[in-house]
Amino acid sequence: MRLNAKLFAVLAVSTLALAGLACNSSDGTSSGMGQVHFVMSSASAPAGMGTTDGLLTVGGDGTVSPLHDGEDRPRLKAANVTITSLMARTLDGQLVGVTADLPMTVDLLSLVNGHEVTLPVGFLPPGTYDQLVVVMSHVDLVKADDTHITITPPGGGWTSIVNVRTPFVVTEGQTTTIQLRFRWWSAFHMENDEIEFDPEFDCEHD
């Protein structure tokens, strides 16, 4: 999903509040907080999914090829995405910033090849959360011939609003592991002969 003005305003206010919290914490991050590990991997594609017009689809060698109207498009070997912030929503609808050492750049196509990426350790206030928001600011695509394509973000960057099927509980002094699974088959589209980025994730937790 793309960032709308209302959500961007909430994110901006939360970022300022989060900065103040980090500065006022006695140990910089974890006082009175629960620890959260975010692990990114690839989601499983829908059963029977084949080549879809306008989509980047994964070939047998694990690289990604956009196909449109039967024409070959540039093959990609990396999609370096900069993750700038994470937020979680409480059961009463409040968005809370995750304290973490971000931004961090992740090659999302490496996840398609079976890799996992662990984001910097995050901290949240104790509570129950039913939604996550992943905010991204930059995408650098690397083609098979090593040329680069930079995708310009919408105002404020990209967001992926991730609904959590079962709300997760963060407990002070304990660790919660969140699995963010990237939906590679729907993230990249061809539009007017240009590649568009629309990131989505599934979420599981331990």
pLDDT tens sequence across 85-125: 999 999 999 999 999 999 999 999 888 878 899 999 999 99
Report the alpha-carbon distance of residue 146 to residue 98 in Å, rounded: 35
Share of the chain above pLDDT 70, in %: 71
Type of residue numbered 61:
D
pLDDT tens sequence across 1-22: 444 444 444 444 343 333 333 3
pLDDT at 52 over 90: no
Report the alpha-carbon distance of residue 33 to residue 123 in Å, rounded: 6
| Mean pLDDT computed over every residue of the chain | 79
DSSP state letter for 2: B
Separation of CA 162 from chain center: 9
Report the alpha-carbon distance of residue 92 to residue 106 in Å, rounded: 31
pLDDT tens sequence across 114-161: 889 999 999 999 999 999 999 999 999 988 788 899 988 888 789 999
